[in-house]
Amino acid sequence: MTTTPKPKGRFTRRGALGTLAGAASLPLWARYTHAQTAEPIRIGFQIHRTGIGAAYGRWYGRTTDAAVKLINEGGGINGRPIEIIAEDDGTDPKRGAEVIEKFANQHNCDIAYGTLFSHVVIGSAPRAGELKLPYFVVSEGHHVASGMLNRYTLQPGITDVKSQVQAMAPFISDTLGKKVTMIFPDYGFGYDHRDNLPDAIKAQGGEVIAQIAIPPSETSFTKYFPKIPRETEVLYHVMVGPAVLTFVKELGEFFGPSAPQLFGFIDSLEAVDIASPGLEFLEGTHFWEGAPRYAQKDQTEHDKFYREAVGVDDNGASVSDPSDISTYAHMFGCWETLHVIKAGMEAAGYSGPADRAALIEAVEAMTDMPEGRAHPQGAKVFNGKTHQVFGHQYISKVEDGKLVKVHTASIEDGMYPDEVDYTKEAF
């Protein structure tokens, strides 16, 4: 992957981020005096305050607030403060598109940002493209990199499912077993797992022998478990929504001590305490994590700084309420995406909506994203053609009721051939 030349006479990405610490030492009134305008950069935050994504939305909101506070204390973007305009999309695709329209036509936002659930992204992105509103999503779906969407939609702060499952497949096949049954949510995000894991397991000499789709709004799951073939060696589970704790508990009750090897995506337990009663059977099982929930022995200074900034303790819970468990494996994407937006706007010399195309081109020109305060989850590589970032993946094992990291996949483990070149699309 080669580096695209930056526009001459503009901020480099590293240079833009490097101004953060120095500007923070200025008094607040002085941090914005060099800007051409004192008007804030208005970022429309499409947040899942209600619906099946509400737990994520709560923590996406807290992470966003923390990142904006840090950036504003460091002088904002091009000397202008960020202002977040939040609208609840109800985790609903139709409402998501309506929110995008409000950002563009009522709130006069510079960009839209924040969406997680893939069906909402898919429902909203076409409207963002029609309105020529840059749409920075913090999702995971393969919809961006697949070419399904448009040049105005980017995912520069979190990896996608195709990359994640490709990086996980060698560990699953080599360590846990070759015959895999999948349980996944019956919507876009789940379909990414359904469509990409079989080939990834096959490449490792294994086989996906069954796929069981469950509606994300389901509240009881026992009726689905008899569909799991007896010869299953590995049960690969990823569920979302408010009933995830019920799902995992019923899974344990169904199998008892005779369960196959379990490999879960932490989505099945995001915002859920691993030490909850009824989850004892998870001891010794494995999970994918986007960022380790528990502070690890090799915790970096960057993770420590970020963890403190967003108000999360070493166990992955709110510092003010140990029962309030974070969505730590995903929410870092908000922090990192906002820093990418800052770097992109500064590289583009962004001054207003007339510079939206230049902003997208500046982000498309990014490649290496070094680990640091802006990227505490780890180093990343951005592919400007596909608008998708690639990063490290983590596998953790439940030991004594905590998640302990046992494997780190390289960035290269998750890379795959380009399926689109958005840079060839006209603005």
In the predicted structure, residue 25 carries a pLDDT above the cut 60: no
Q: Rounded to whole angstroms, how far apart are CA atoms 209 and 328?
A: 31
Tens digit of pLDDT for each residue in 1-10? 434 434 433 3
Q: What is the pLDDT of residue 158?
A: 98
Percent of the chain at pLDDT exceeding 70: 91
In the predicted structure, residue 142 carries a pLDDT above the cut 80: yes
In the predicted structure, residue 82 carries a pLDDT above the cut 50: yes
**The one-letter amino acid at 13:** R
Q: How many CB atoms lie within 10 A of CB 370?
A: 12
Assign 373 a pLDDT band (cuts: 50, 70, 90). Answer: very high
Torsions phi, psi for 368 (to 5 deg): -75, 130
Q: Rounded to whole angstroms, how far apart are CA atoms 72 and 154?
A: 23
Residues of the chain within CATH 3.40.50.2300 domain(s) are 13-159+329-391, 161-289+396-407
When pLDDT is averaged across residues 387-407 and rounded to a whole number, the result is 97
In the predicted structure, residue 29 carries a pLDDT above the cut 80: no
Q: Rounded to whole angstroms, how far apart are CA atoms 422 and 238?
A: 30
* Intra-chain end-to-end CA distance of the chain, in Å: 24
Assign 11 a pLDDT band (cuts: 50, 70, 90). Answer: very low
When pLDDT is averaged across residues 346-359 and rounded to a whole number, the result is 98
Q: Buried b / exposed e across 166-183, counting CB within 10 Å, b at 16+? A: bbbbbbbbeebbebbbbb
In the predicted structure, residue 15 carries a pLDDT above the cut 60: no
Percent of the chain at pLDDT exceeding 90: 87
Average pLDDT of the chain is 92
What 300-304 contacts at long range (C-beta under 8 Å, 24+ apart), as own/partner pairs, is: 300/371, 300/376, 302/371, 302/372, 302/373, 302/375, 302/376, 303/376, 303/377
Q: Rounded to whole angstroms, how far apart are CA atoms 100 and 219?
A: 30
Q: Give the start-end residues of each E strand in 15-75.
A: 41-47
When pLDDT is averaged across residues 347-368 and rounded to a whole number, the result is 98
When pLDDT is averaged across residues 107-124 and rounded to a whole number, the result is 97
Identify the weakest region by mean pLDDT among 176-180, 278-282, 285-289.
278-282
Q: What is the pLDDT of residue 44?
A: 98
Q: Pick from 335, 320, 326: which is nearest to 56 by CA?
A: 326
For strand 261-265 and strand 286-289, is the pairing parallel, antiparallel, or unpaired? parallel
- Element holding 211 (H helix, E strand): strand 207-214
Assign 20 a pLDDT band (cuts: 50, 70, 90). Answer: very low
| Helix extents (H) in 349-421 | 356-364
In the predicted structure, residue 92 carries a pLDDT above the cut 50: yes
Q: How many CB atoms lie within 10 A of CB 313?
A: 16
Q: What is the pLDDT of residue 36?
A: 61
Q: What is the pLDDT of residue 81?
A: 98
Taking CA atoms, 280 is separated from 58, 273, 285, 389, in Å, by 27, 11, 10, 35
Q: Rounded to whole angstroms, how far apart are CA atoms 193 and 237?
A: 10
The phi-psi region of residue 86 (left if phi > 0; otherwise alpha if psi is between -120 and 50; otherwise beta) is beta
Distance of CA 247 to the CA centre of its chain: 22
**The one-letter amino acid at 385:** K
When pLDDT is averaged across residues 117-127 and rounded to a whole number, the result is 97
Tens digit of pLDDT for each residue in 252-279? 999 988 899 999 999 999 999 999 998 9
Bridge partner list, 393: 409
Q: What is the pLDDT of residue 38?
A: 78
In the predicted structure, residue 13 carries a pLDDT above the cut 50: no
Q: Pick from 55, 140, 43: which is nearest to 99 by CA?
A: 43
Q: Pick from 375, 373, 385: which is nearest to 411 by CA?
A: 375
- Element holding 128 (H helix, E strand): helix 118-131
When pLDDT is averaged across residues 113-137 and rounded to a whole number, the result is 97
The two tokens of residue 181 are: 């049954």
- Look up residue 172 and give its DSSP letter: I
CATH code for the structural domain at 161-289+396-407: 3.40.50.2300
Q: What is the pLDDT of residue 14?
A: 45
When pLDDT is averaged across residues 139-166 and rounded to a whole number, the result is 98
- Element holding 86 (H helix, E strand): strand 82-88
Assign 238 a pLDDT band (cuts: 50, 70, 90). Answer: very high
Q: What is the pLDDT of residue 35?
A: 55
Q: What is the pLDDT of residue 242?
A: 83
Tens digit of pLDDT for each residue in 308-322? 999 999 999 999 999
Q: Give the start-end residues of each E strand in 4-69.
A: 41-47
**pLDDT: is 15 or 302 the higher one?**
302
Query: CA gyration radius for the chain?
Result: 21
In the predicted structure, residue 24 carries a pLDDT above the cut 70: no
- 423 near 384, Cβ under 8 Å? yes
Q: How many CB atoms lie within 10 A of CB 21?
A: 10
CATH of 13-159+329-391, one of 1.10.3720.10, 3.50.30.10, 3.50.30.60, 3.40.50.2300: 3.40.50.2300
**The one-letter amino acid at 320:** S
In the predicted structure, residue 173 carries a pLDDT above the cut 70: yes
Q: Rounded to whole angstroms, how far apart are CA atoms 115 and 139?
A: 6
Burial class of residue 88 in the structure, from the number of CB atoms within 10 Å of its CB (0-12 exposed, 13-18 middle, 19+ buried): middle
